[in-house]
Every structure is written in structure tokens, then in C-alpha cells.
């Protein structure tokens, strides 16, 4: 491993490669990115930092922290994709560095380095960290709260400075700092910004009560200073919530708290539901490629947690488990489920993975060998009864490298197939599958040669290359010539000079890329009326509506542009045909 003085720079370099390379290349994705960005531009243009609006209406879905951050991005980088995303990317780089620091404090420099790299180079960090959404600010400020908690209870390089009985005692200043960070998280995404971090801290304090018979339950929980944390969080967050409530006569508060918090928790919204297995599947995909050792990491964590209390890894790992349980457990109970909801659990997951890999590299992993490996003698020819614990772990790691190689094959086959359906001409992207294949081969060979550190280095480099290229080159290739950005680019007139409307549904990306308010029309007759009344009108429809609308179009109007979307449908722009922008042309 490189000297510890370089570890922070290594984590920062990996995170920068994943999050900043071609950040503004892909168009804004889905509905959330352009809706947040358009809301930020509306607040900037109106010079109103209090009331969020979208397409001329009050926006109740999210608090304003993401908009304030994006306003800064637009001011520095312009009204474009980079300006919308730069705040999220920089905050996520900060989160990776905080994760490295937390890992160092709890479990030592090697676990910290590997944990920081695991977070920086996993799939979901590339997705969420490059997205113009509130997820990155929430992740940063909740991880900041965890870092302040770890420092507050006195952990240094894997050991606690306090005795068992006061292992969870926080000073007033530490609690205030934690509360301030949670207050910023409330401004990012609501009450979960303080509720779930505080739940994790209280769970950890309750677990420590079992080791001290002299401290009562209430006293053990009180040492976390929950009242101080809540008061500090309220001091940061409540002024804006009160102000927006007054400005909107309570409408924003009712919509956000009752509909988009209580409503989302109690029932599925917008079709986003899932079973109890939803989030385990999300972690398996989102934490890739590090999730190839997920099962081994969980087994190792269980062994450590069952170890004697003298094991210095036990209590730090228990804190990480409490943090993961708070986020994953709470959202597993929610009716609405989305992959990004549990992203704040990833720093703890990454550090626990870093601990497993550090212990594996140091020969300190010991758990019972899985019996199912006996079914593959051709892959693992040595007799199992001749192996000790270290050989068993070696088999598990070879299985992990095999999973990584199989994923490389899937990418090599899947990306060309997907490009043929969604982004013709990009079949070459299949070469990215060679990265995990080569990584798996180097890791296998390094393990066979007894050089486990080189195996881990290969995984870190391969993960950085694969995730960086997938997030930049692949994403840009799939978004090129698709969606609202490509649609606006095909028009001769500047988008702001047009009078825009949509039939039935207004794509949020159209509001952002046109830079104007888009009128929602209800019937094909409304389309015809809008076109007649506004000489430079442009109406966007779904390609599946073309036949219905065509019969209602006035003379001289037709399809000006059509672009595909990732849903395999088309957007069509209707307007005056060549030479018809002059309103006198319709005197007939």
C-alpha cells in the first residue's frame, strides 16, 4: 500500500476521474435533473431564493438547497449541464474524502483508503454524484454528521479515547456541529436529514449500554445529546421552512410534508414500489464492482461482531452497521422506493468493505468455507479437506474475481445490443467489457502469486476506469441526438423566441432546454388553436400522438423535427413549415 500521506490524494484523484470527466457531456436525464435545474434558473431569474417554482408553478417536491447550489454553478459555468451538476460532483468528492477520514479514524489507514476508493468508484456514486439532484447534498451533510460523531466520541486510528461507559458521550460543541450538518441535510431533502442520522447514533448508544451495567438506558441515550442535535438542526433549517410557509400561505409545507414525505412513506407514488428484496438488489448493482465481495464482507462483519469485546474492530464496525441499518431499514419500510434513497448508507458500506479487504490482504479473515464450492472441483481442484481457513477465503475471492469476469462478458455483449436499439453506431462501447475481464485476470494471477495488495490495486484501478468511462463516454453516447436537447438543437429559431406548448404532458427537460415556460394543452383542437394564435408557436407531442393530431393541424403546419428518446418513442415538434413564420401567410 502507498504511504498514508498519499491516501487522501489517491481517493480525491479517483473521485475526480469518476465525477468530473465529461460532466457536462450527457444531456440532463429523466425528470428530476431538468426539473431541479429549471427550478434553479427560475429562482435565479426572479432573484427569489425562497419560493421554488417550476414552469410557472409552485414546486413542492424538494427544499431549496440543491437550487442554491445550482445557482452558484450556473453563475460560474453558465446555464448548461455542467453548471447544473458541478455542485453535486464537488460535494460527492468531499463525501469520498470524508469516508476515507471516517475509515481511518475507526479502523485504520488501510481500511480508510479502501473504503474511500470503494465509495468513489462504485456505480451509484457515478450516477448520483453526476446528477443535478438533492441526493449529493444529502449524502455530503449526513456523512459530515457521521464524521463529526466519530470525532466527537474520540475515535483515533481504530481506538476510542474514552472508556466503555462513556464511548458514546458527545460534548455540546460536537452535538451542535452534528446538528448544524443535519440542518443542512434537512434543507437538502427534508426531515430524514436529521431523523435517520440521529436514529443511527441512538442505536449505537443503545448497543453500548449493554457493556455497562452502571449506566441506565435513558442516561446512555442522553449522552448522545439528541435534544442539542435537534435544536441545532432546527436553528439551521426552520427559518427557511417558516419563511416559505408564510410566502405560500402554508401550501408548500402541506404539499412537501404531507404528500412528499408522509405520503411517500405510507404508500407507493409514481409507480416506485418494491419488496423487501428491493434494496439488497439495489446495493448489489449500485455498489458494483465492489459488491462482488458483498457476501464475504457481510460474513466477515458477522464474525467480527461476534468476537470478544477486546477486538478493536468490533465497536467501530458496530457503528457502521447501525448507520446502514438506519437508512436501509427505514426505507425498506417505506411504500415508495427509489435507488437513491439509501445512498447515504454507502459510506458505511464502503468502509466495512474496506475493512474486509484490508483484513484479507493482511491474512486476518477467518470464516467457515461454503459447502457449495465443493460442487466445482474443475474450478477449484485442491481438496477442501486439505485447506485451512486462509485457503477457504482464497476460494471465496476467486469466486469474486469470476463474478467480475462474468460481468465483463455481460458488458461486452450487452452494450452493443443496447446501442443497436437506443444509440445506433455505438456498438464499439462493448470494448469496455474488457476492463473487468482484465481486472479479474490480474487479480486472480496476483492472488495466485501471493501478492494480495496488487490484486486490490488492480480492482481499484479497474473500477475507476470502468465507472468513469461508463458515466462519461457511455452516458454521452446514449444521450447524443436524443431527447429535448437534440430536439431544440434541430430548430432554426432560437428556442427562447418560440412560444412553446406540449400536448398532455410537459417533459421537464423541455422547460430547461427552451429556457421558457411551456404551456400544457389538453386536446388536439388546443394544438391547432395555439398554432394559429402564435405565429412562432412550437408544440411538442409524443410520436404516438401524431395520427390523432395531424387531422387537427391548420394548413401550412407540420412536423419540423423529430428525435428519439430512451423509451424508444419519438418527440415531434409541430410548427409552421418553411416560409410560414410570417403571420400574414395565414390570411387565407
Residue 510 and residue 579 in one domain: yes
Q: Is the residue at 383 inside a domain?
A: yes
Cα separation, 430 vs 216, in Å, equals 60
Domain boundary among 331, 361, 391: 361
Cα distance between residue 190 and residue 175, in whole Å: 20
CA distances from 65 to 135, 383, 422 (A): 11, 59, 34
The answer to whether residue 62 sits within a structural domain is: yes
Domain count, the chain: 3
- The domain boundary residue, chosen from 426, 455, 479: 479
Residue 434: predicted pLDDT: 98
The residue behind cell 434558473 is 41
Rounded CA gap, 92 and 97, in Å? 9
Q: How many CA atoms lie within 13 A of 381 on its CB side?
A: 1
- Domain co-membership, 147 together with 65: yes
For residues 179 and 233, give the distance between their C-alpha atoms in angstroms, rounded to a whole number: 4
% residues pLDDT > 90 (the chain): 74
| Residues 201, 116 share a domain | yes
Judge if 450 and 509 occupy the same domain: no
331 in a domain, yes or no? yes
CA 115 to chain centre: 17
Helices 32-46 and 65-77, interaxial angle, to 10°? 80
pLDDT of residue 389: 57
Paired with 539 in beta bridges are 501, 574
Please write the tens of the pLDDT for every residue from 383-403. Answer: 444 445 567 788 999 999 999
55 and 73: one domain? Answer: yes
**Together in a domain, 299 and 393:** no
The reply to whether 323 and 382 lie within a common domain is no
What is the pLDDT, as a whole number, of residue 271? 80
Boundary residue ending a domain (338, 361, 384): 361
Q: Point out which residues pair with 574 in neighbouring strands.
A: 539, 559
The pLDDT assigned to 157 comes to 61
204 and 286 housed in the same domain: yes
Q: How far is CA 292 from the centre of its chain?
A: 19
Domain membership flag for residue 335:
yes
Taking residue 345's Cβ as centre, other Cβ atoms within 10 Å add up to 26
Q: Per-residue confidence of the chain (588 residues) as pLDDT tens digits?
A: 789 999 999 999 999 999 999 999 999 987 899 999 999 999 999 999 999 999 999 999 999 999 999 999 999 999 999 999 999 999 999 999 999 999 999 999 999 999 999 999 999 999 999 999 999 999 999 999 999 999 999 876 655 554 444 567 899 999 999 999 999 999 999 999 999 999 999 999 988 765 555 556 787 788 999 999 999 999 999 999 999 999 999 999 999 999 999 999 999 987 888 989 999 999 999 999 999 999 999 999 999 998 877 788 999 999 999 999 999 999 999 999 999 999 999 999 999 999 999 999 998 887 654 454 455 555 545 444 444 556 778 899 999 999 999 999 999 999 999 888 877 788 899 999 999 999 999 999 999 999 999 999 999 999 999 999 999 999 999 887 678 888 888 887 787 788 999 998 899 999 999 999 999 999 999 999 999 998 889 999 999 999 999 989 988 899 998 888 877 788 999 999 875 444 333 332
In this structure, is residue 344 part of a structural domain? yes
462-466 CB contacts, 8 Å cutoff, 24+ apart? 462/289, 462/435, 462/436, 462/438, 463/117, 463/118, 463/121, 463/122, 463/289, 463/290, 463/439, 464/14, 464/17, 464/18, 464/117, 464/120, 464/121, 465/435, 466/289, 466/432, 466/435, 466/436, 466/439
Helix, strand and coil content of the chain, in percent to the nearest 5, comes to 65, 5, 25
Does the residue 90 lie in any domain? yes
From residue 397, give the alpha-carbon distance in Å to each of 1, 373, 451. 19, 12, 13
- Residue 164: the pLDDT is 42
> 129 with 228, same domain?
yes
CB within 8 Å of 192: residues ≥ 6 apart? 138, 185, 330
Within-domain flag for 366: no
3-state secondary structure of 507: coil
Q: Which domain holds residue 191?
A: 4-361
Q: Look at residue 315 in the predicted model and tell me its pLDDT.
A: 92
Tell me, what CATH number does 509's domain have?
A: 3.40.190.10
Q: How many CB atoms lie within 10 A of CB 254?
A: 13
Q: Residue 390's pLDDT is what? A: 66
What pLDDT, on a 0 to 100 scale, did the predictor assign at position 217?
72
Same domain, 377 and 302: no
34 and 80 in contact (C-beta within 8 Å)?
Answer: no
- In order of 92, 224, 345, the CA distances from 200 in angstroms are 21, 11, 11
* Residues 471 and 580 placed together within one structural domain of the fold: no
Residues 558 and 464 in one domain: no
Amino acid at each position: 500500500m502507498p504511504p498514508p500521506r498519499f491516501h487522501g490524494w489517491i481517493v480525491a484523484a479517483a473521485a475526480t476521474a469518476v465525477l468530473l470527466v465529461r460532466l457536462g457531456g450527457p444531456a440532463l436525464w429523466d425528470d428530476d435533473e431538468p426539473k431541479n435545474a429549471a427550478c434553479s434558473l427560475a429562482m435565479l431569474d426572479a432573484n427569489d431564493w425562497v419560493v421554488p417554482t417550476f414552469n410557472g408553478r409552485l414546486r413542492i417536491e424538494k427544499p431549496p438547497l440543491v437550487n442554491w447550489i445550482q445557482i452558484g454553478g450556473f453563475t460560474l459555468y453558465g446555464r448548461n449541464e455542467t453548471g447544473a451538476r458541478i455542485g453535486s460532483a464537488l460535494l460527492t468528492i468531499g463525501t469520498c474524502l470524508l469516508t476515507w477520514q471516517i475509515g481511518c479514524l475507526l479502523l485504520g489507514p488501510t481500511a480508510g483508503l479502501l473504503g474511500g476508493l470503494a465509495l468513489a468508484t462504485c456505480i451509484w456514486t457515478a450516477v448520483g454524484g453526476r446528477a443535478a439532484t438533492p441526493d449529493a447534498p444529502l449524502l455530503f451533510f449526513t456523512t459530515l454528521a457521521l464524521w463529526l460523531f466519530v470525532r466527537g466520541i474520540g475515535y483515533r486510528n481504530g481506538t476510542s479515547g474514552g472508556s466503555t461507559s462513556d464511548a458514546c458521550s458527545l460534548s455540546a460543541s460536537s452535538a451542535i456541529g452534528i446538528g448544524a450538518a443535519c440542518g443542512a441535510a434537512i434543507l437538502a431533502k427534508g426531515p430524514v436529514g436529521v431523523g435517520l442520522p440521529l436514529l443511527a447514533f441512538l442505536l449505537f448508544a443503545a448497543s453500548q449500554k449493554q457493556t455497562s451495567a452502571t449506566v441506565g438506558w435513558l442516561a446512555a441515550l442522553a449522552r448522545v445529546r439528541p435534544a442539542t442535535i435537534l435544536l441545532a438542526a432546527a436553528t439551521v433549517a426552520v427559518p427557511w421552512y417558516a419563511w416559505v410557509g408564510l410566502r405560500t400561505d402554508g401550501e408548500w409545507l402541506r404539499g412537501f410534508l404531507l404528500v412528499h414525505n408522509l405520503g411517500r412513506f405510507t404508500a407507493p407514488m409514481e409507480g416506485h414500489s418494491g419488496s423487501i428484496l428491493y434494496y439488497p438488489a439495489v446495493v448489489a448493482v449500485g455498489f458494483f464492482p465492489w459488491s462482488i465481495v458483498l457476501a464475504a464482507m457481510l460474513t466477515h462483519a458477522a464474525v467480527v461482531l461476534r468476537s470478544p469485546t477486546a477486538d478493536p474492530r468490533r465497536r467501530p464496525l458496530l457503528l457502521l452497521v447501525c448507520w446502514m441499518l438506519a437508512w436501509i431499514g427505514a426505507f425498506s419500510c417505506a411504500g415508495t422506493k427509489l435507488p437513491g434513497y439509501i445512498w447515504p448508507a454507502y459510506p458505511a458500506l464502503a468502509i466495512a468493505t474496506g475493512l474486509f479487504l484490508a483484513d484479507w490482504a493482511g491474512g486476518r479473515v477467518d470464516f467457515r468455507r461454503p459447502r457449495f464450492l465443493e460442487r466445482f472441483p474443475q474450478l477449484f481442484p485442491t481438496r477442501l479437506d486439505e485447506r485451512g481457513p486462509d485457503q477457504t477465503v482464497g476460494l471465496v475471492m476467486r469466486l469474486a474475481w469470476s463474478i467480475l469476469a462474468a460481468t465483463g462478458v455481460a458488458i461486452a455483449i450487452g452494450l452493443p445490443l443496447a446501442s443497436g436499439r437506443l444509440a445506433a453506431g455505438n456498438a464499439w462501447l462493448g470494448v469496455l467489457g474488457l476492463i473487468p475481464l482484465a481486472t479479474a485476470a490480474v487479480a486472480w494471477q496476483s492472488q495466485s502469486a501471493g501478492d494480495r495488495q496488487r490484486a486490490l490495486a488492480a480492482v481499484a484501478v479497474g473500477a475507476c476506469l470502468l465507472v468513469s468511462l461508463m458515466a462519461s463516454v457511455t452516458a454521452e453516447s446514449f444521450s447524443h441526438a436524443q431527447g429535448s436537447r437534440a430536439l431544440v438543437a434541430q430548430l432554426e429559431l432560437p428556442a427562447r423566441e418560440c412560444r412553446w406548448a406540449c400536448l398532455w404532458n410537459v417533459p421537464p427537460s423541455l422547460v430547461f432546454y427552451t429556457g421558457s415556460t411551456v404551456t400544457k394543452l389538453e386536446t388536439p383542437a388546443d394544438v391547432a388553436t395555439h398554432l394559429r394564435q402564435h405565429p412562432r408557436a412550437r408544440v411538442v407531442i409524443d410520436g404516438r400522438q401524431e395520427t390523432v393530431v395531424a387531422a387537427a393541424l391548420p394548413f401550412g403546419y407540420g412536423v419540423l423535427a423529430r428525435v428519439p428518446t430512451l423509451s424508444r418513442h419519438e418527440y415531434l415538434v409541430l410548427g409552421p413549415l418553411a416560409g410560414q413564420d410570417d403571420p400574414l401567410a395565414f390570411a387565407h
